[in-house]
């Protein structure tokens, strides 16, 4: 009897460390975040007084709606770019081609470069006075004046480009392993039916890749919504708020203005927003898989 | 007929090589530029260079001598290695439980693991800052490591569970007959076979730990706990010469690239093991 009970407890014992970490780092902070968002708290989270929905008032200001719109542009354009480039690359790398092993290794490299260093290197590459891209374009006579990639007009487009650079390899890896699972007979059969090229991709490859695409897309979406380091290191949210995304607003509210309640309200909103989108994407996917 | 097909293959190769090479150039451009700049003397930074003309290796010596680069490196190693070790141990245990046992909250736990992947650091960091202050963990290595472990843990658990599922349990049953405990069987029998998956899990969590920026920036304050990420971004903000920043950046990206090259034959299949379920 005792032995049986011990055996029953065993899986839970194995899970204890994971559960402790999840409670410590996710559950308790998320719980605190929730009540912070309805309270006045000092920098280290000491309770002052309840604030009702006052902290949430910022969410209906024009500054915030603009930030949200900017973040949507960043997410949608970033993911569209990642999918476009990533799918083309994965298809190019899928079939045997001389040097494929080498190229597969190199293609993935941006993925292992930490966001901060990616940001620092690209800031230098795109630097308006000495950056290699501007000097090249000037030398080739394609432009007369250096392009200010990180100026107010282009900064958002530039960080989106760098986001795409960093995100493509993840999708390529996901798609490559999914493409490997498509049986060779499928292609044989399609060839006999004369379905080749674009038609083959559209009617056969794409539907088979769909589950993986939705899964990777959901994860990329959630990450994109809240990426902080990459943009913060390159622009700090500027110039003139041109690249101020949700994550940067949360950071500034909390650690520059010291408004923990306000930051928490935005964080709660972000969390809910991302969860709802993720939930619907995944749900649709599992429904269609049945 | 045959010739037509051959032409088609050649055209196919050209298109594919074109796509691949354009991407490779874009992928490597910042790293290549950073490397050239790291070898350029300060007064020559304005020159246009497509290939290295100068070999000012002293930039590396100077940046190490003039900035707390060793301290940054030490802190980054502690964060990354600490994150990997904790992540591996915790995820091996959890994955084994999920793979070998049937218990009540198994499905709920699996869903929880998938869900924590989307909890962002920027959302957690505000309350975590308060929590680390009230528990006395503020400005310690361990608080950063634990926080990074939480960010790193989901993928290794899913990955290792998938791998353990593919190992038949007959070996463990034989071991159990010989009086071996479950933990003993896991360590002596399962782990040696699972080396590819464990390597992948190690690499993934090392990347997460090395990438840490927000947590060390907010949760620590003493100079010895500044990581490469935080240190270099501050150097950039206080307008340090670009050749130094680039030398520092090259030093900073070597460890993850090396680990990637060593582990890469396992990585590509491993990363997505959880997501096709």
Residue A83, pLDDT above cutoff 90: yes
CB atoms A255 and B218 under 8 Å: yes
Sign of the CA dihedral with A179 first, then A185, A188, and A194 last: negative
Question: Looking at CA atoms only, how far is residue A56 from chain B in angstroms?
Answer: 15
- pLDDT band at residue B3 using 50, 70 and 90 as cut-offs: low
Residue A228, pLDDT above cutoff 90: yes
Residue A96, pLDDT above cutoff 90: no
Burial of B8 (0-12, 13-18, 19+ CB in 10 A): exposed
Specify the range with the lowest mean pLDDT, choosing from B71-85, B150-164, B260-274.
Answer: B260-274
Sign of the CA dihedral with A41 first, then A47, A53, and A54 last: negative
Over residues B3-10, the mean pLDDT reads 74
Specify the range with the lowest mean pLDDT, choosing from A37-51, A103-117, A126-140, B169-183.
Answer: B169-183
Tell me how far CA of residue A59 lies from CA of A248, B74, B127, in angstroms.
15, 41, 19
Which chain B residues are Cβ-neighbours of A228 within 8 angstroms? 121-122, 213-214
* Partner-chain residue, chosen from B122, B128, B272, that has the shortest CB–CB distance to A247: B122
Which chain A residues are Cβ-neighbours of B207 within 8 angstroms? 112, 114
Which chain B residues are Cβ-neighbours of A130 within 8 angstroms? 45-46, 242
Over residues A107-125, the mean pLDDT reads 95
Which chain B residues are Cβ-neighbours of A276 within 8 angstroms? none
- pLDDT band at residue B11 using 50, 70 and 90 as cut-offs: confident
**Partner B contacted by A158 (CB < 8 A):** no
Specify the range with the lowest mean pLDDT, choosing from A96-100, A110-114, B217-221, B250-254.
Answer: A96-100
**Partner A contacted by B218 (CB < 8 A):** yes
Sequence-ordered list of residues with C-beta below 8 angstroms from that of B162, at least 6 positions apart, any chain: B197, B273, B274, B277
Which pLDDT value is given to residue B274? 43
Sequence-ordered list of residues with C-beta below 8 angstroms from that of A245, at least 6 positions apart, any chain: A67, A70, A71, A74, A227, A231, A237
User: What whole-number percentage of chain A has pLDDT above 90?
Assistant: 58
- Domain spans, chain B: 67-270
Which pLDDT value is given to residue B275? 41
Which pLDDT value is given to residue A199? 79
Does A62-289 carry CATH code 1.10.3720.10?
yes
Q: What is the C-alpha to C-alpha distance for residues B172 and B186, in angstroms, rounded to an integer? A: 8
Q: What is the C-alpha to C-alpha distance for residues A238 and B182, in angstroms, rounded to an integer? A: 56
Tell me how far CA of residue B183 lies from CA of A3, A280, B197, in angstroms.
16, 40, 18
Tell me how far CA of residue B154 lies from CA of A67, B30, B113, B115, B263, in angstroms.
30, 30, 5, 9, 19
- Domain spans, chain A: 62-289
- pLDDT band at residue B49 using 50, 70 and 90 as cut-offs: confident
Tell me how far CA of residue B23 lies from CA of A137, A255, A265, B140, B271, in angstroms.
19, 38, 40, 41, 21
Which pLDDT value is given to residue B273? 47
* Partner-chain residue, chosen from B20, B147, B157, that has the shortest CB–CB distance to A93: B20
Specify the range with the lowest mean pLDDT, choosing from A31-45, A191-205, A228-242, B261-275.
Answer: B261-275
| pLDDT tens by residue, A186-223 | 877 777 776 667 778 888 888 889 988 998 998 899 88
Which pLDDT value is given to residue B175? 80
**Partner A contacted by B43 (CB < 8 A):** no
Record the tokens describing residue A226, joined without a space: 């809240």
Sequence-ordered list of residues with C-beta below 8 angstroms from that of B26, at least 6 positions apart, any chain: A165
Residues 74-133 of A with CB under 8 A from B: 85, 88-89, 92-93, 95, 97, 103-110, 112-125, 127, 129-130, 132
Residue B145, pLDDT above cutoff 50: yes
Residue B215, pLDDT above cutoff 90: yes
Which pLDDT value is given to residue B232? 94
Which pLDDT value is given to residue A1? 47
Question: Looking at CA atoms only, how far is residue B269 from chain A in angstroms?
Answer: 6
Residue B72, pLDDT above cutoff 60: yes
Residue A289, pLDDT above cutoff 70: no
Which pLDDT value is given to residue B227? 96
User: What whole-number percentage of chain B has pLDDT above 90?
Assistant: 61
Q: Rounded mean pLDDT of chain B?
A: 89
CB atoms B242 and A124 under 8 Å: yes
Over residues B21-46, the mean pLDDT reads 92
Which pLDDT value is given to residue B4? 66
| CATH code of the domain occupying B67-270 | 1.10.3720.10
Over residues B126-140, the mean pLDDT reads 93
Q: What is the C-alpha to C-alpha distance for residues B240 and A240, in angstroms, rounded to an integer? A: 24
Residue B33, pLDDT above cutoff 70: yes
Which candidate in A4, A5, A8, A11 is best for mutational testing of the B interface (most B CBs within 10 A)? A11
Question: Looking at CA atoms only, how far is residue A229 from chain B in angstroms?
Answer: 7
């Amino acid at each position: 009897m005792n032995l049986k009970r011990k055996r029953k407890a065993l899986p839970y014992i194995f899970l204890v460390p994971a559960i402790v970490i999840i409670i410590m780092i996710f559950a308790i902070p998320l719980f605190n975040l929730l009540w912070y968002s309805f309270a006045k708290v000092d920098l280290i989270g000491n309770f002052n007084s309840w604030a009702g929905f006052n902290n949430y008032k910022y969410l209906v200001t024009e500054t915030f709606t603009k930030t949200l719109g900017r973040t949507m542009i960043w997410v949608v354009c970033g993911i569209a770019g990642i999918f476009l480039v990533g799918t083309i690359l994965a298809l190019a790398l899928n079939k045997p081609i001389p040097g494929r092993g080498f190229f597969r290794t190199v293609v993935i490299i941006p993925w292992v470069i930490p966001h901060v260093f990616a940001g620092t290197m690209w800031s230098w590459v795109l630097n308006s006075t000495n950056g290699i891209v501007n000097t090249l374009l000037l030398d080739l006579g394609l432009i007369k004046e250096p392009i200010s990639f990180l100026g107010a007009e282009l900064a958002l487009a530039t960080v989106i480009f760098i986001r795409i650079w960093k995100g493509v390899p993840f999708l390529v890896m996901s798609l490559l392993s999914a493409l490997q699972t498509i049986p060779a007979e499928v292609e044989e059969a399609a060839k006999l039916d004369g379905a080749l090229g674009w038609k083959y991709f559209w009617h056969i490859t794409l539907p088979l890749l769909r589950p993986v695409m939705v899964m990777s897309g959901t994860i990329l979406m959630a990450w994109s919504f809240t990426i902080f380091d990459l943009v913060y290191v390159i622009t700090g949210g500027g110039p003139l708020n041109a690249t101020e995304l949700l994550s940067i607003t949360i950071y500034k509210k909390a650690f520059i203005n010291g408004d923990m309640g306000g930051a928490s309200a935005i964080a709660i909103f972000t969390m809910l927003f991302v969860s709802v989108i993720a939930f619907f994407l995944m749900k649709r996917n599992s429904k269609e898989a049945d | 007929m045959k010739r037509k097909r051959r032409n088609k293959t050649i055209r196919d190769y050209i298109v594919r090589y074109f796509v691949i090479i354009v991407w490779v150039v874009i992928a490597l451009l910042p790293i290549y530029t950073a490397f050239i700049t790291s070898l350029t003397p300060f007064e020559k930074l304005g020159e246009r260079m497509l290939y290295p003309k100068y070999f000012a290796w002293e930039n590396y010596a100077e940046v190490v001598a003039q900035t707390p680069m060793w301290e940054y490196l030490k802190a980054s190693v502690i964060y990354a290695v600490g994150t990997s070790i904790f992540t591996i141990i915790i995820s091996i245990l959890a994955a084994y439980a999920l793979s070998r046992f049937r218990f009540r909250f198994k499905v709920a736990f699996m869903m929880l693991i998938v869900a924590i992947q989307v909890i962002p650091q920027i959302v957690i960091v505000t309350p975590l800052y308060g929590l680390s202050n009230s528990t006395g963990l503020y400005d310690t290595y361990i608080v950063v490591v634990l926080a990074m472990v939480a960010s790193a843990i989901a993928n290794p658990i899913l990955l290792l569970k998938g791998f353990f599922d593919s190992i038949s349990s007959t070996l463990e049953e034989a071991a159990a007959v010989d009086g071996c405990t479950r933990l003993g069987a896991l360590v002596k029998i399962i782990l040696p076979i699972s080396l590819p998956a464990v390597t992948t899990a190690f690499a993934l969590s090392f990347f997460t730990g090395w990438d840490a920026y927000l947590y060390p920036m907010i949760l620590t304050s003493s100079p010895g706990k500044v990581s490469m990420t935080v240190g270099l971004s501050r150097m950039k903000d206080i307008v340090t010469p670009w050749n130094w920043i680039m030398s520092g950046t090259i030093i900073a990206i070597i460890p993850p690239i090396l680990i990637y090259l060593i582990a890469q034959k396992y990585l590509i299949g491993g990363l997505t093991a959880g997501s096709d379920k």
